[in-house]
Amino acid sequence: MTDTNHRKIVIFDTTLRDGEQSPGASMNLAEKMEVAQALVDLGVDVIEAGFPIASPGDFEAVREIANTVRGSVICGLARCRPADIDRAWEALQGAEHPRIHVFLATSAVHREHKLRMGKEEIIQHAVEGVRRAVGYCSNVEFSPEDASRTEMDFLCEVVEAAIDAGATTVNIPDTVGYATPAHMYKVIDTLRNRVPNIDRAVLSVHCHNDLGMAVANSLAAVEAGAGQVECTVNGIGERAGNGSLEEIVMALRTRHDFYQADTRVVSQRLVPTSRLVSSVTGILVQRNKAIVGQNAFAHEAGIHQDGILKEPSTYEIMRPEDVGFAKTDLVLGKHSGRAALADRAKALGYTLSAEQLKEVFEQFKILADKKKEIYDGDIASLIEQQILSVAELWSFDSYEVTTGTGKIPQVRLTIRRGEEEASTTMQCGDGPVDAIFLAIEELTGTFVVCKDFQVHSVTVGKDAQGEVLVEVEHEGRTYRGRGVSTDSVEASAKAFLNAVNRIAAVTR
């Protein structure tokens, strides 16, 4: 389908850094490791694993990923400050292919109000930052933050100085999502034509989606000659998010006739990776999201369905299986064996160790006793719960609630902390879910404000598993939790405990 002679665009994934900056999207170490490995399997060239100086947790995650994940460049972010750069290198030095990414704002508004620095000082700091990073590592990226609102002459000057100082990639961020495609094309084109040493570095683009144009702007930059695109899975990130990796990759692949460019991404891994990121962050993918949304390939209109049956290319510009949607939603049941489960897991894009398969199979049998038909969505959520349920401080055991219209619920809840059991009986709350949340707060000593609560079914049917997503606020920070069960009250308890566990992981 694609011509191997096409220019290869470097895909720089920042799901673990800029993506994690979405409110409530914080991931624990085990989740970050899982996502990092999935990104390698997806074929991304560079993984921005975090901002090491930001917190001990960020440092630990970058170090762990650098020490263990192989196959992609591992990058850490740093401001143009010695302490940041030293810390980034401390975290990255175990990487097979490390990269230090230094950034400094260059636009007038940032120079005057945030940094209180003149143009000369900005250039001096940028050069010193790049030089210090080059002292540690030959692969150095420099970003003039808010580049799209920086005066073009000054941007050219900064970029030239950064390349002279040793930057091997220069990234042009549209930090506040202000650019338009024509604007972005012009910025990249001007840099390519006016910066004399531009051929010594890869020119990159990093777009935010405040005006809904992040993907269009990224593609315009590629059209103008950019060789690297920074993006995130599902487009998660600060505010309205970053450019969405799956959309950029599939636009380049589907329209290679136009862009004459492609990436190394294994497109069949897009849906499994999207599902994983959604599951660990608790940020749902909208149904009509391009490429990975549930409806992305669903044809409703009769004329369309008729056309598809006659010849799929009448209405389909990509095949669902090319982006990793399983061809059929095969139904498994209580008589299905381990081999059938392993086969389905593989088709859904999960690689399970023998130990993980054993554990998922046990849960599968329990679920099969509760519901007759087990769909792909059920299997995906069983696997995700299994492979991601590492190091949870508290786990759910059992509950009972008695309630009715106009009555205050009576709740008995048991949870576990390792081998220890903690139980309480309370009369409280506005309904069964509220009562369980209050009982969990009482038992764990973690008190939160519940900001959002959503229940939806994982698959079809009255016996479908319910997935509950909660968003809570604790000491000014947002945390999410997710729980799945055929009983939606139990799923609520699990989701709330999951959020409490995330709080414990940060505050312990």
3-state secondary structure (DSSP) of residue 147: helix
- Out of ligand KIV, Zn ion, none, what residue 145 binds, judged by CB under 5 to 8 A for its kind, is ligand KIV
Cβ neighbour number for residue 475 with a 10 Å cutoff = 9
Q: Give the residue among 483, 475, 441 at the shortest CA–CA distance from 458.
A: 483
Q: Smaller CB distance to ligand KIV: residue 175 or 218?
A: 175
Helices (runs of H) and strands (runs of E) counted in the chain? 17, 16
Q: How far apart are CA 194 and CA 199, in angstroms?
A: 11
Q: How big is the site for ligand KIV, counted in residues (CB under 6 A)?
A: 9
Q: How far is the CB of 233 from ligand KIV (least distance, A)?
A: 16
Q: Smaller CB distance to Zn ion: residue 10 or 443?
A: 10
Q: Smaller CB distance to ligand KIV: residue 175 or 381?
A: 175
Q: How far is the CB of 77 from ligand KIV (least distance, A)?
A: 6
Q: Give the residue among 498, 487, 284 at the shortest CA–CA distance from 395.
A: 498
Q: How far is the CB of 103 from ligand KIV (least distance, A)?
A: 4
Q: Smaller CB distance to ligand KIV: residue 243 or 409?
A: 243
Q: Smaller CB distance to Zn ion: residue 18 or 384?
A: 18
Q: How big is the site for Zn ion, counted in residues (CB under 5 A)?
A: 1
48 forms part of the interface with Zn ion (CB under 5 A): no
Q: How far is the CB of 84 from ligand KIV (least distance, A)?
A: 12
Q: How far is the CB of 71 from ligand KIV (least distance, A)?
A: 23
Site for ligand KIV in 245-304 (CB under 6 A): none
3-state secondary structure (DSSP) of residue 262: strand
Q: Say if residues 429 and 409 touch (Cβ distance below 8 Å).
A: yes
Q: How far is the CB of 214 from Zn ion (least distance, A)?
A: 10
Q: Which residues are CB-neighbours of 144 under 8 A, at least 6 positions away?
A: 103, 104, 105, 106, 126, 150, 155, 158, 159, 162, 170, 172, 173
- Out of Zn ion, ligand KIV, none, what residue 48 binds, judged by CB under 5 to 8 A for its kind, is none
206 forms part of the interface with ligand KIV (CB under 6 A): yes
141 forms part of the interface with ligand KIV (CB under 6 A): no
Strand partners, 18: none
Q: Smaller CB distance to ligand KIV: residue 237 or 481?
A: 237
Q: How far apart are CA 85 and CA 133, in angstroms?
A: 6
Q: Give the residue among 261, 195, 250 at the shortest CA–CA distance from 226.
A: 261
Q: Which of 52, 166, 173, 466 binds ligand KIV (CB under 6 A)?
A: 173
The DSSP string of 47-81 is EEEE-GGG-HHHHHHHHHHHHH--SSEEEEEEESS
Q: Which of 12, 59, 89, 103 binds ligand KIV (CB under 6 A)?
A: 103
Among 2-10, 113-121, 171-179, 498-506, the segment contacting ligand KIV (CB under 6 A)? 171-179
**What does the per-residue mask of binding to ligand KIV show for 18-57, with x meaning CB under 6 A?**
x---------------------------------------
Q: Smaller CB distance to Zn ion: residue 122 or 207?
A: 207
Q: How far is the CB of 53 from ligand KIV (least distance, A)?
A: 13
Q: How far is the CB of 289 from ligand KIV (least distance, A)?
A: 22
3-state secondary structure (DSSP) of residue 457: strand
Q: Say if residues 42 and 266 touch (Cβ distance below 8 Å).
A: yes
Q: How far apart are CA 496 and CA 499, in angstroms?
A: 5
Q: Give the residue among 229, 222, 205 at the shortest CA–CA distance from 6.
A: 222
Q: Which of 20, 58, 145, 490 binds ligand KIV (CB under 6 A)?
A: 145
The dihedrals phi and psi of 472, each to the nearest 5 degrees, come to -125, 160
Count of CA atoms in the C-beta half-sphere (13 A) of 351: 7
Q: Which of 169, 175, 281, 446 binds ligand KIV (CB under 6 A)?
A: 175
Site for ligand KIV in 4-23 (CB under 6 A): 18
Strand partners, 261: 7
Sign of the torsion formed by the C-alpha atoms of 343, 344, 350 and 353: negative
- Out of Zn ion, ligand KIV, none, what residue 482 binds, judged by CB under 5 to 8 A for its kind, is none
Q: How far apart are CA 372 and CA 377, in angstroms?
A: 14
Rg (CA), the chain: 24
CA 386 to each of CA 69, 358, 480, 496: distance values in angstroms, whole numbers, following the listed order: 21, 10, 18, 18
- Out of Zn ion, ligand KIV, none, what residue 143 binds, judged by CB under 5 to 8 A for its kind, is ligand KIV
Among 169-177, 197-205, 286-294, 315-323, the segment contacting ligand KIV (CB under 6 A)? 169-177
Q: Smaller CB distance to Zn ion: residue 174 or 467?
A: 174
Q: How far apart are CA 239 and CA 285, in angstroms?
A: 16
20 forms part of the interface with Zn ion (CB under 5 A): no
Q: Which of 18, 174, 378, 471 binds Zn ion (CB under 5 A)?
A: 18
Q: Smaller CB distance to ligand KIV: residue 110 or 131?
A: 110
Q: Which residues bind ligand KIV (CB under 6 A)?
A: 18, 103, 143, 145, 171, 173, 175, 206, 208
Q: Which residues bind Zn ion (CB under 5 A)?
A: 18
